[in-house]
Amino acid sequence: MSQTIAVITPAWNAQDTIVTTVQSVLDQTYQDWQLWLIADDDVDYAAFLAQAGIADARIRHLSSGGVGLGASRTRNVALEQIEAPYAAILDADDRLKPTKLERAVAGLAEHAIVTTALDVMTDRFEHLRFVGNGTDRVLTPGTHKAVSLSMDSMLVWDRRRADGRYDPTMSNMTDLEFLLQLYRTTPTSLHLGTPLHDYIKRSSSMSNGANVAAGMIRSKQEILRRLETGYYGLPAKEVDGVAAFLRISLEAEALYGDALAAQPGLLFEDHLEPMLAARP
Protein backbone atom coordinates (compact mmCIF):
# COMPACT_ATOMS: atom_id res chain seq x y z
CA MET A 1 0.00 0.00 0.00
CA SER A 2 1.29 3.45 -0.93
CA GLN A 3 2.57 5.61 1.90
CA THR A 4 3.45 8.61 -0.24
CA ILE A 5 3.16 12.01 1.41
CA ALA A 6 2.17 14.96 -0.76
CA VAL A 7 3.80 18.05 0.73
CA ILE A 8 1.80 21.13 -0.26
CA THR A 9 3.70 24.40 -0.58
CA PRO A 10 2.05 27.59 -1.89
CA ALA A 11 4.58 30.12 -3.16
CA TRP A 12 4.14 33.87 -3.48
CA ASN A 13 7.24 36.05 -3.86
CA ALA A 14 9.17 33.15 -2.32
CA GLN A 15 12.47 33.51 -4.16
CA ASP A 16 14.36 34.46 -0.98
CA THR A 17 13.28 31.35 0.93
CA ILE A 18 12.13 28.63 -1.44
CA VAL A 19 15.52 26.97 -1.96
CA THR A 20 15.96 26.43 1.77
CA THR A 21 12.38 25.20 2.10
CA VAL A 22 12.69 22.71 -0.76
CA GLN A 23 16.08 21.54 0.47
CA SER A 24 14.49 20.63 3.80
CA VAL A 25 12.19 18.24 1.93
CA LEU A 26 15.06 16.78 -0.09
CA ASP A 27 16.92 16.17 3.18
CA GLN A 28 14.14 14.07 4.74
CA THR A 29 15.06 10.65 6.09
CA TYR A 30 11.73 9.48 4.61
CA GLN A 31 11.97 9.72 0.84
CA ASP A 32 8.54 8.59 -0.41
CA TRP A 33 7.22 12.09 -0.93
CA GLN A 34 5.93 14.44 -3.60
CA LEU A 35 6.35 18.19 -3.26
CA TRP A 36 3.47 20.11 -4.78
CA LEU A 37 4.86 23.60 -5.33
CA ILE A 38 2.06 25.92 -6.43
CA ALA A 39 3.05 29.34 -7.72
CA ASP A 40 0.68 32.18 -6.84
CA ASP A 41 2.83 34.82 -8.52
CA ASP A 42 3.60 33.67 -12.09
CA VAL A 43 7.21 32.82 -11.13
CA ASP A 44 8.76 29.82 -12.88
CA TYR A 45 9.95 28.07 -9.75
CA ALA A 46 11.15 25.03 -11.68
CA ALA A 47 13.65 27.23 -13.52
CA PHE A 48 14.46 29.14 -10.34
CA LEU A 49 15.25 25.95 -8.42
CA ALA A 50 17.24 24.58 -11.37
CA GLN A 51 19.53 27.59 -11.13
CA ALA A 52 20.21 26.52 -7.54
CA GLY A 53 20.99 22.98 -8.68
CA ILE A 54 17.64 21.49 -7.62
CA ALA A 55 15.77 19.34 -10.11
CA ASP A 56 13.83 16.36 -8.78
CA ALA A 57 11.04 14.44 -10.50
CA ARG A 58 9.12 14.28 -7.22
CA ILE A 59 8.59 18.06 -7.32
CA ARG A 60 5.31 18.89 -9.06
CA HIS A 61 5.02 22.47 -10.29
CA LEU A 62 1.57 24.03 -10.59
CA SER A 63 0.00 27.46 -10.81
CA SER A 64 -2.77 28.82 -8.63
CA GLY A 65 -4.36 30.15 -11.80
CA GLY A 66 -3.80 33.76 -10.83
CA VAL A 67 -1.57 36.14 -8.92
CA GLY A 68 -2.00 36.80 -5.23
CA LEU A 69 -5.04 34.56 -4.82
CA GLY A 70 -3.85 33.65 -1.34
CA ALA A 71 -2.50 30.56 0.41
CA SER A 72 -5.92 28.97 0.96
CA ARG A 73 -6.96 28.97 -2.69
CA THR A 74 -3.45 27.96 -3.70
CA ARG A 75 -3.36 24.99 -1.32
CA ASN A 76 -6.78 23.92 -2.55
CA VAL A 77 -5.46 23.71 -6.12
CA ALA A 78 -3.17 20.90 -4.97
CA LEU A 79 -5.79 19.27 -2.74
CA GLU A 80 -8.08 18.89 -5.74
CA GLN A 81 -5.41 17.01 -7.70
CA ILE A 82 -3.18 14.95 -5.43
CA GLU A 83 -3.71 11.20 -5.28
CA ALA A 84 -1.20 10.34 -2.54
CA PRO A 85 -2.88 8.95 0.60
CA TYR A 86 -1.07 11.32 2.95
CA ALA A 87 -0.65 15.09 2.83
CA ALA A 88 1.39 17.65 4.72
CA ILE A 89 1.54 21.44 4.80
CA LEU A 90 4.80 23.36 4.38
CA ASP A 91 4.82 27.10 3.78
CA ALA A 92 7.39 28.52 1.37
CA ASP A 93 9.42 30.14 4.14
CA ASP A 94 9.32 27.27 6.65
CA ARG A 95 11.44 24.13 6.93
CA LEU A 96 10.94 20.52 7.95
CA LYS A 97 13.37 18.97 10.40
CA PRO A 98 15.03 15.91 8.76
CA THR A 99 12.90 13.27 10.53
CA LYS A 100 9.53 15.07 10.27
CA LEU A 101 8.01 12.91 7.54
CA GLU A 102 9.44 9.64 8.90
CA ARG A 103 7.96 10.24 12.33
CA ALA A 104 4.67 11.43 10.88
CA VAL A 105 4.21 8.32 8.74
CA ALA A 106 4.84 6.12 11.77
CA GLY A 107 2.12 8.01 13.63
CA LEU A 108 -0.32 7.75 10.73
CA ALA A 109 -0.34 3.96 11.13
CA GLU A 110 -2.81 4.44 13.99
CA HIS A 111 -3.97 8.05 13.73
CA ALA A 112 -5.56 9.98 10.87
CA ILE A 113 -3.97 13.29 11.97
CA VAL A 114 -0.44 13.90 13.21
CA THR A 115 0.72 17.28 14.49
CA THR A 116 4.15 18.22 15.77
CA ALA A 117 5.71 20.81 18.00
CA LEU A 118 7.15 23.88 16.31
CA ASP A 119 10.51 25.59 16.47
CA VAL A 120 9.44 29.22 16.05
CA MET A 121 12.10 31.37 14.40
CA THR A 122 12.74 34.77 12.89
CA ASP A 123 13.15 35.05 9.13
CA ARG A 124 16.90 34.69 9.76
CA PHE A 125 16.27 31.30 11.42
CA GLU A 126 17.04 32.63 14.88
CA HIS A 127 15.20 30.62 17.54
CA LEU A 128 12.39 32.46 19.35
CA ARG A 129 10.56 29.73 21.27
CA PHE A 130 9.00 26.30 20.98
CA VAL A 131 5.28 25.72 20.67
CA GLY A 132 3.70 22.41 21.66
CA ASN A 133 6.93 20.79 22.83
CA GLY A 134 6.86 18.06 25.47
CA THR A 135 5.69 14.48 25.54
CA ASP A 136 3.93 12.75 22.67
CA ARG A 137 0.21 12.51 23.36
CA VAL A 138 -3.16 11.74 21.82
CA LEU A 139 -5.35 14.85 21.63
CA THR A 140 -8.97 15.61 20.89
CA PRO A 141 -10.29 18.78 19.20
CA GLY A 142 -11.03 20.27 22.60
CA THR A 143 -7.57 19.61 24.03
CA HIS A 144 -5.42 20.35 20.99
CA LYS A 145 -5.13 24.09 21.53
CA ALA A 146 -4.19 23.63 25.18
CA VAL A 147 -1.02 21.95 23.86
CA SER A 148 -0.40 23.71 20.55
CA LEU A 149 -1.44 27.25 21.41
CA SER A 150 -0.76 28.84 18.01
CA MET A 151 0.22 28.21 14.41
CA ASP A 152 -1.35 24.95 13.25
CA SER A 153 0.54 24.59 9.96
CA MET A 154 2.47 21.50 11.10
CA LEU A 155 -0.25 19.08 9.96
CA VAL A 156 0.22 15.70 8.33
CA TRP A 157 -2.96 13.73 7.70
CA ASP A 158 -4.45 10.67 6.00
CA ARG A 159 -6.72 11.96 3.26
CA ARG A 160 -8.69 8.71 3.20
CA ARG A 161 -9.79 9.12 6.82
CA ALA A 162 -9.92 12.91 7.16
CA ASP A 163 -10.54 15.41 4.38
CA GLY A 164 -11.08 19.11 4.04
CA ARG A 165 -10.43 22.25 2.03
CA TYR A 166 -9.01 25.60 3.12
CA ASP A 167 -11.51 28.43 3.49
CA PRO A 168 -10.45 31.34 1.26
CA THR A 169 -13.02 33.66 2.87
CA MET A 170 -10.97 33.80 6.08
CA SER A 171 -7.96 36.12 6.27
CA ASN A 172 -6.32 34.42 9.27
CA MET A 173 -6.53 31.26 11.40
CA THR A 174 -7.08 29.16 8.28
CA ASP A 175 -4.89 26.34 9.62
CA LEU A 176 -7.01 25.94 12.76
CA GLU A 177 -10.20 26.12 10.71
CA PHE A 178 -8.86 23.41 8.40
CA LEU A 179 -7.84 21.22 11.35
CA LEU A 180 -11.38 21.46 12.74
CA GLN A 181 -12.68 20.25 9.38
CA LEU A 182 -10.41 17.19 9.63
CA TYR A 183 -11.67 16.48 13.13
CA ARG A 184 -15.18 16.04 11.73
CA THR A 185 -14.41 12.45 10.79
CA THR A 186 -11.71 11.46 13.25
CA PRO A 187 -12.09 11.98 17.00
CA THR A 188 -8.41 12.19 17.95
CA SER A 189 -4.98 13.18 16.67
CA LEU A 190 -1.43 12.29 17.62
CA HIS A 191 0.76 15.17 18.70
CA LEU A 192 4.51 14.67 18.58
CA GLY A 193 6.13 16.82 21.23
CA THR A 194 9.49 17.01 19.46
CA PRO A 195 9.86 20.25 17.45
CA LEU A 196 9.98 18.88 13.90
CA HIS A 197 8.88 21.96 11.96
CA ASP A 198 10.67 25.32 11.67
CA TYR A 199 7.96 27.97 11.66
CA ILE A 200 9.00 31.45 10.54
CA LYS A 201 7.34 34.22 12.53
CA ARG A 202 7.02 37.20 10.22
CA SER A 203 7.80 40.64 11.59
CA SER A 204 4.26 41.83 10.81
CA SER A 205 2.74 39.20 13.10
CA MET A 206 5.32 40.00 15.81
CA SER A 207 4.45 43.70 15.86
CA ASN A 208 0.66 43.43 16.17
CA GLY A 209 0.07 45.57 13.11
CA ALA A 210 -3.49 46.89 12.88
CA ASN A 211 -4.42 44.79 9.85
CA VAL A 212 -2.97 41.62 11.34
CA ALA A 213 -4.75 42.08 14.68
CA ALA A 214 -8.09 42.94 13.05
CA GLY A 215 -7.88 39.91 10.76
CA MET A 216 -7.02 37.61 13.65
CA ILE A 217 -9.93 38.89 15.72
CA ARG A 218 -12.46 38.52 12.89
CA SER A 219 -11.28 35.02 12.09
CA LYS A 220 -11.34 33.86 15.70
CA GLN A 221 -14.84 35.26 16.09
CA GLU A 222 -15.97 33.45 12.95
CA ILE A 223 -14.53 30.09 14.04
CA LEU A 224 -16.20 30.58 17.44
CA ARG A 225 -19.52 31.27 15.71
CA ARG A 226 -19.16 28.13 13.59
CA LEU A 227 -18.34 26.02 16.63
CA GLU A 228 -21.35 27.29 18.55
CA THR A 229 -23.74 26.67 15.64
CA GLY A 230 -22.62 23.07 15.13
CA TYR A 231 -20.80 23.71 11.86
CA TYR A 232 -18.07 21.11 12.53
CA GLY A 233 -20.35 18.49 14.04
CA LEU A 234 -18.13 18.06 17.09
CA PRO A 235 -19.34 16.73 20.45
CA ALA A 236 -20.34 19.43 22.93
CA LYS A 237 -17.34 18.75 25.19
CA GLU A 238 -14.94 19.30 22.30
CA VAL A 239 -16.74 22.45 21.17
CA ASP A 240 -16.46 23.80 24.72
CA GLY A 241 -12.71 23.14 24.76
CA VAL A 242 -11.98 24.96 21.49
CA ALA A 243 -14.42 27.76 22.32
CA ALA A 244 -12.76 28.35 25.69
CA PHE A 245 -9.40 28.70 23.97
CA LEU A 246 -10.79 31.16 21.42
CA ARG A 247 -12.44 33.34 24.05
CA ILE A 248 -9.21 33.60 26.03
CA SER A 249 -7.28 34.24 22.82
CA LEU A 250 -9.68 37.08 21.95
CA GLU A 251 -9.12 38.56 25.41
CA ALA A 252 -5.39 38.31 24.77
CA GLU A 253 -5.78 40.12 21.44
CA ALA A 254 -7.49 43.03 23.20
CA LEU A 255 -4.68 43.31 25.75
CA TYR A 256 -1.72 42.61 23.49
CA GLY A 257 -1.16 46.17 22.26
CA ASP A 258 -0.60 47.53 25.75
CA ALA A 259 1.48 44.51 26.74
CA LEU A 260 3.67 44.95 23.68
CA ALA A 261 4.15 48.65 24.42
CA ALA A 262 5.26 47.75 27.94
CA GLN A 263 7.52 44.96 26.72
CA PRO A 264 8.74 45.58 23.15
CA GLY A 265 9.32 42.38 21.22
CA LEU A 266 6.85 40.38 23.29
CA LEU A 267 5.62 37.40 21.29
CA PHE A 268 1.86 36.93 21.24
CA GLU A 269 2.42 33.33 22.35
CA ASP A 270 4.33 34.49 25.44
CA HIS A 271 1.48 36.91 26.15
CA LEU A 272 -1.24 34.27 25.63
CA GLU A 273 0.32 31.30 27.39
CA PRO A 274 -0.04 32.54 31.01
CA MET A 275 -3.64 33.52 30.30
CA LEU A 276 -4.39 29.99 29.14
CA ALA A 277 -2.60 28.51 32.15
CA ALA A 278 -4.72 30.62 34.50
CA ARG A 279 -8.04 29.43 33.16
CA PRO A 280 -10.09 27.10 35.46
**Fold observed for domain 1-96:** Spore Coat Polysaccharide Biosynthesis Protein SpsA; Chain A (3.90.550)
Q: Where are the domains of the chain?
A: 1-96, 206-277
> Cα 178 vs. chain centroid, distance in angstroms?
9
- C-alpha distances out from residue 212 to 76, 209, 245, Å: 23, 5, 19
Phi, psi (deg, nearest 5) at residue 256:
-65, -35
Distance linking the first and last C-alpha atoms of the chain: 46
Convert the pLDDT of each residue in 57-88 to its tens digit: 999 999 999 999 999 999 999 999 999 999 99
**Mode of pairing for the β-strands spanning 137-139 and 189-200:** antiparallel
Q: Which residues have CB under 8 Å from 100's CB, separation 6+?
A: 28, 88, 116, 156, 196, 197
Q: What is the pTM of this model?
A: 0.95
The pLDDT score that the predictor gives to residue 173 is 94
| C-alpha to C-alpha distance for 69 and 86, rounded to whole angstroms | 25
186, 162 in Cβ contact below 8 A? yes
Nearest to 38 by CA among 79, 9, 7, 71: 9
Inter-helix orientation angle 236-262/268-277, to 10°? 130
- Residue 42: which region, alpha, beta or left (left: phi > 0; alpha: psi -120 to 50)? left
Convert the pLDDT of each residue in 100-126 to its tens digit: 999 999 999 999 999 999 999 998 999
Average pLDDT, 10 consecutive residues per value, the chain (280 residues): 93 97 98 98 97 97 96 98 97 97 98 97 94 97 94 94 96 95 96 97 59 86 97 97 96 93 92 89
